[in-house]
Structure 1
């Protein structure tokens, strides 16, 4: 990208937090816009971002818990894919100097507990919750009005305040109107830390929305951590063609006659600058940052708004579970006094403290973590503003050390011995948030949640500049879901009325999972069974309910992310259970002493663990056919064939089935008991075990599967399923071909992992770069009388498809073998995926979807046998 290069797009979104991503999706999906998202950080996701330390501890940065009911906004944004794990019923425990109060899930339980502990205020408690509903309605009405044009806002804001006055009162004022008991007021004021403005200054509408209304259905934590939300949303954005770029710093929003014209951007990875012409900019970077980007004449517009607090966060890694101290995953709030008048301006470490036990709330967590948050005045760190983040002064380091010690001491005072479990500690300050979030003075929750904000014409989705709108927390309210709602308000401001109507109708409708889409999510390990000295069977069940979230066919496999390091590794495992079982799925894993995946599943996984799974995948599936079904397995290759046999038994098949299962010793035969019992359910089944190194007591067949072993079963075979080590499969394919078994009747299993696809893409890119350096601009491909051009780095199949030249194909990933071609001359890189015999490989048979040409090629398709010649095109 050259200096001052220009690009064009329909919409630029500044910031990839949940608000920015929500706006991006709405504008792409319902507006048909080309959307470019620019993120200044190196990782997208805003406060759904996670980071890791010491190769084991994972921490969230902003999302600690959320409503137990995902709600329509989050359900829509994740296409209903988000999995939530409930916190304990008493999810927030409030600690005051002389009493504690536990907040239960559901409005009914909360009201009942308040009346039980404060019976003299029972009638007032009922009136209070009615006021909460009205205040929440007022906040929603005001925020929706903020997305309307200026004339509507000017008329609407005063009407909302007259109709819903409680929304605009401070929480302290509303509590004084509602209750006499100072302890009851303290309980209901306490959790102002969820949006960051203390009771004496905040608007009751925000207090009614966040700690009071939002959590009345209980609370939950995303299974897999906050990053799962980020992962799902980014996948969906890609589906709608939204481009997300990281390390892109927007320096200026350029306007012309009161309308957005373009933005100026620095690519922080390369230092280059460029401009993007666009009629619409959605800023999820906060109101203050947004106006600053317009230039000096705009920067002071938000100055009248009250300043925001920031926070310190302490991230702790423990060497044992917090459950050892009687904790179950509930959050703990430590209030230094009843009235909280001084809010976040107490001495650092002594203020209102929130403690979250993320590793207890995330069933997929492998190591124990705790996150502490204390709202603070950013002025306490102002003296170090502008210092190098990698080389802060010694005084700053000492302050962080002392603050870390004081915060841990507060936990140790509550749970004696807690400090001894801490093996890792890292403190984030307002300077940290300013650096990573690019927020003004490290603002943690966006604009202060005050009555002044509600009355301001600056705080909201609309701006005076046509084509510029605000998304995120500043357009609605605090937190991930508040930011998401702010993204919807931004979309509300940009889309046409017809498009907006379609958006809201779709959001209100419950998402329906695309049955054609591959399922991705978490399953719980419910059983681990030893099958042989080297093979384990692992049962996986749904996180909730009793029905698997996907259906599978016999012979398919799953991909499993295994958390063996900071970043998980992906491995593929065949399903051994039959598709008729819908409450669980089983895999079998053979231990490879050098294999990271198999050793992890053997040594570290136990019942109760949670694993991220995607699938099912694969074309190695059974189809009913007349004649003999021949199943051939080598060792653990029996796994998918057991699923096939189980389905055949469940469907009542009576035709002939022969299973040839080869193993090294009789002790290593997986599923031996199940296989010996199957003939009773499958009258046409013949099971033959072949053992290459039998013990003295073995009375069955000896040796390996070879040509003579196969000969008696080849005459009336109509379908063959073959699974085992690649050399064994190559040999068997050759022998079956020699026995005149039709090649198309032979089906082999080949896993396609995310890593294998990624490796192919990386290699394709490298070949494209090498071709460009060599002056190669493309390949001229001739098929009989047809000529077309492919580009370096394209697979043979992609080049043919792009030119509209028909090639046999199905999966496109190398698992089905449909795109077999014969390459008779030339150089290329490929992965044959165990689909061919040794003779076929020697004759040049390859998979078109896996073949990357590196020179002239001559190719024959099996459909016509006509040669396809690929000739390098060179730059003139």
Structure 2
């Protein structure tokens, strides 16, 4: 049995929004339980064949996602605008393109239907009033029962159009049947056809919400949920996958907690909590309570066809806009998601058609792996019909298809746990608007509903439902703090000026510096200044999409910090390197890469004395940034660059170095070419002429750096004057955590609770799995330190006796390693240690 302040059922955007608000503004201990093995609800993605990535529910959102989504992502969500004509409607005998902007949309409608000009103006005024009516109704749904009843009545009285069916309202407003067809066409965005849907939903979703244009998350829908989950982790919210809530427990009509099954292990347990937020939908919530289902109209479901293409669909005309194929009583929605995601490496298409879930009743409840042949044949027929419809619209697309998979309402039941595979939650009908169960409040004290059923359809609708749930749970002062914070949320991604930034940069240019070295220029998405500042000598960590899961690689910045509209890296091709071969063979301008940075302590700032820069091969990259910074600062002191390469042809940045010599009067450049016949290396004799230096920056292959450090030490160069480059990535931190865990488990089995570390003056304890530096800090021992991540080399310690695991990171000479010098922040004792700082 466990205890929590709040249990949230479901990790869709509604559940995550409620979790964040209750943790951040209410100080609650929140546990989120997700039945699926993937977190994020309909913002999650899945992959096929090791290359194709598909979104499941988020295809496009408003171009200005508004304060709610920006608050949930701390302003970090990056959006790629769709074309101005973002929705193309294809009727049997005519087409219509929906443009971004209310004035542009109205003008295009009037141009097409001049006789309806005044009716079009009235229509948009009615849309505004109906949207206000829907918002008012939804806000009232979060109040107590007496206020809710009065509010519902007032909303319908003041905005009757909100409650009319869409067909009724359009027939009252518009005479021309073609114009009515255009205005009604995109009901698939909320799932209920015009003859049944409430006009308030039609006014709010396809019309008002998308009125100023649309966009797609850079990096795909998963990027939204990745950022949100990361933020929740910092707030202490625990999110668990594969946890099926089997029952919501109540006592005297008050919620007391939930019963849970861990579907990965079969373990059953209970979490006691005075507050339960259900983002699993109203119908599922009533089922978990064991109560009768609400009497509301049934919801539609959908079939979705996921296609992977071996070529770009842009060859056939699409440019990223959405297409609605409307004929024979069917509406098929087509999204070319990969054209709207500059980070996508492979092209995909997602096709949605709303269907009656009863079509699949005969197979409901059967094992997904053992469904009969007739089910497979139906899926094949539906797949072929949808592909044929696409090929009719874009002849030749069939030949591009490398992968196809159809999801049916049974798929949504299995993975989403929605009732009868309903895609959008409760049907968007007038009956829903008048129902007291469609909203965040329930008849059980302490139990509230979040997600689509608490507000409206779609990811942002679900997010709004999460805010409504928090609105119900939090007391007045905390609610006020929440809404004030939401109102201040930036409508655009926030620039990060200090510390590490994470987001996408676009590849602006690629240049071959040498036969084996390529320079890559990265710029801000959409132009403007890059969203961070950096110091000369720092590096970036870049996720490279070489497989379904990207690999992280670190690359030094070669451009100077004085340049603000781009940042550059240089990459040497390594024959067996996954990252470098991708960057050399496949990367093209226009692609987006996820970047973390700037990182590193290998930095230079203006100071007097002789600066000695030593580079081996591509190790010259961060030193170019140092030289650019020195030139921008008007540095006049002596700078010596010793650059080692194999051949003259392989010297990178040669042209730039000549230009820098013109700007830096004290710059001396010496090349060492090591190819047979030259025999020129940066050895002891070569360094002897430069031993009277103030500061040394050294970067190159690890073996070369070890040798050079040894030479400099023998020449009397102070060790703390020598600075070396060391990359620190999330992978290296993860490896250290994994090793620490293994050491801790081994110690536990052996009955060891602590190791002892003895230094020059005292002895202090070290828990198994703790680094030497962490143990020293916990004991209050004064150890030299700076970055704590192995990048700066400050926490040097010499191990005299004892066993340990470590990562030397190229910070030491061969002689220093033999003498036992290590980094305290990287060293994990496996028995008692004796160390010294001298």
3-state DSSP of counterpart to 2:564: coil
**Relative to structure 2, which stretch is displaced further, 763-772 or 421-430?**
763-772
Separation in structure 2 between the aligned mates of residue 10 and residue 703 of structure 1, nearest angstrom = 69
CA offsets per residue over residues 769-794 of structure 1, 9 Å max, x none? 22222222333455677665433222
Q: Which moved more, 1:424-433 or 1:812-821?
A: 812-821
Distance 1:127 1:426 in 2: 44
Deviation at 1:27, TM superposition (A): 1.0
Match of 1:3 in 2: none
Residues 625 and 719 in structure 1, CA contact (< 8 A), matched pair in contact too: no
Contact 1:665–1:694 (CA under 8 A) maintained in structure 2: no
Contact kept? 1:625, 1:718, Cα under 8 Å: no
Structure 1 counterpart SS, 2:370:
coil
SS in 2 for 1:776: coil
Instruction: Provide the rounded CA distance (Å) in 2 between the counterparts of 1:281 and 1:357.
Output: 38
Residue in 1 that maps onto 2:407: 428
Please, what is the CA RMSD of the aligned residues? 1.5
Decide whether the 8 Å contact of 1:631 with 1:722 is kept in 2. Answer: yes
**2-structure distance, mates of 1:492, 1:96:** 43
**In 1, distance between residues paired with 2:499 and 2:376?**
50
Unaligned runs of 5+ in 1: 1-5, 341-350, 866-876
- Counterpart residue number, 1:140: 135
Secondary structure class of the residue paired with 2:505: strand
**Alpha-carbon contact 1:676-1:687 (below 8 Å) kept:** no
Please, which of 89, 95, 109 is the counterpart of residue 114 of structure 1? Answer: 109
- Aligned 1:292-441 pairs, distance under 5 A: 292-295=287-290, 298=291, 300-302=292-294, 304-336=295-327, 351-441=330-420
Equivalent of 2:485 in 486, 503, 506 = 506
Cα distance in 1 for partners of 2:272, 2:241 equals 19
Counterparts of residues 335-734 of structure 1 (less than 5 Å): 335-336=326-327, 351-511=330-490, 515-693=497-675, 703-715=680-692, 717-734=693-710
Judge conservation of contact 1:461–1:469 (CA < 8 Å) in 2: yes
Q: CA deviation at 1:513?
A: 5.0
Question: Shift of residue 677 of structure 1?
Answer: 2.6
Q: C-alpha separation between the residues in 2 aligned to 1:639 and 1:321?
A: 35
Contact 2:498 2:532 in 1 (8 A): no
Q: Deviations over 1:610-636 (max 9, x none)?
A: 211111110000022221111111111
**Alpha-carbon distance between aligned partners in 2 of 1:428 and 1:222, rounded to the nearest angstrom:** 23
Shift of residue 803 of structure 1?
A: 3.7
Partners of 1:443 and 1:548 in 2: CA distance? 43
1:854 matched residue in structure 2:
830
Mapped to 2, the partners of 1:453 and 1:803 lie a distance apart of: 62
Q: Given the superposition, is the C-alpha separation of residues 783 and 731 from structure 1 closer, same or farther in structure 2, using an over 3 Å criterion?
A: closer
Decide whether the 8 Å contact of 2:310 with 2:400 is kept in 1: yes
Deviations 1:455-503 (A, max 9, x none): 1111101111111111111111111111111111111111111111111
Tell me the distance in 2 between the aligned counterparts of 1:139 and 1:11: 29
Taking structure 1 as the reference length, what is the TM-score of the superposition? Answer: 0.94
Q: Judge which range, 515-524 or 530-539, deviates more.
A: 515-524
Query: Is the contact between residue 426 and residue 453 of structure 2 (CA under 8 Å) also seen in structure 1?
Result: yes
Q: 1:499 to 1:515 in 2, by over 3 A?
A: farther
The CA distance in 2 between the partners of 1:801 and 1:242, in whole Å, is 28
1:787-806 → structure 2 map (5 Å cutoff): 788-806=764-782
Which residue of the partner structure matches residue 868 of structure 1? none
Q: CA deviation at 1:403?
A: 0.6
Worse-superposed segment, 775-784 or 835-844: 775-784
Deviation readout 1:13-40 (Å, 9 max, x if unpaired): 1111111111111111111111111111
**Does 2:78 match 1:83?**
yes
- Equivalent of residue 261 in structure 2, options 263, 266, 289: 266
DSSP-derived class of the 1:850 partner = coil
Instruction: Indicate if the aligned counterparts of 2:498 and 2:533 stay in contact, CA closer than 8 A.
Output: no
CA shift, 1:694, in A, is 6.4
**Structure 1 range deviating more: 673-682 or 351-360:** 673-682
Against the structure 1 CA distance between its residues 589 and 369, is the aligned structure 2 distance closer, same or farther, given a 3 Å change threshold? same
Long gaps (5+) in structure 2: none
Matches of 1:804 and 1:675 in 2, distance apart? Answer: 48
1:753 aligns with 2:732: no
2:178 is paired with a residue whose SS is: helix
Moved more, 777-786 or 252-261: 777-786
Query: TM-score, structure 2 length as denominator?
Result: 0.98
Q: Count the aligned residue pairs.
A: 835
CA contact (8 A) 1:79 1:513 kept: no
> 2:757, 2:834 within 8 Å by CA — same for their partners in 1?
no
- Give, in whole Å, the separation in 2 of the partners of 1:288 and 1:788: 58
Instruction: Measure, in 2, the Cα distance between the counterparts of 1:165 and 1:805.
Output: 73
Q: Kindly provide the CA deviation profile for residues 785-831 of structure 1, in whole angstroms up to 9, marking residues without a partner as x.
A: 76654332222222333344333222221111122111111111100
* Residue 690 of structure 1: how far off its partner (Å): 0.9
The one of 779, 785, 793 equivalent to 1:817 is 793
Aligned to 1:744: 720
The answer to whether the 8 Å contact 1:147/1:493 transfers is yes
The question of whether the paired residues in 1 share the 8 Å contact of 2:757 and 2:832 is answered with no
Distance 1:14 1:802, change over 3 A: farther
Taking the aligned partners of 2:205 and 2:764, their CA distance within structure 1 comes to 60
Residues 185-209 of structure 1, C-alpha deviation per residue, up to 9 Å, x if partnerless? 1111110000100111111111011
DSSP-derived class of the 2:832 partner: strand
Contact 1:562 1:611 in 2 (8 A): yes
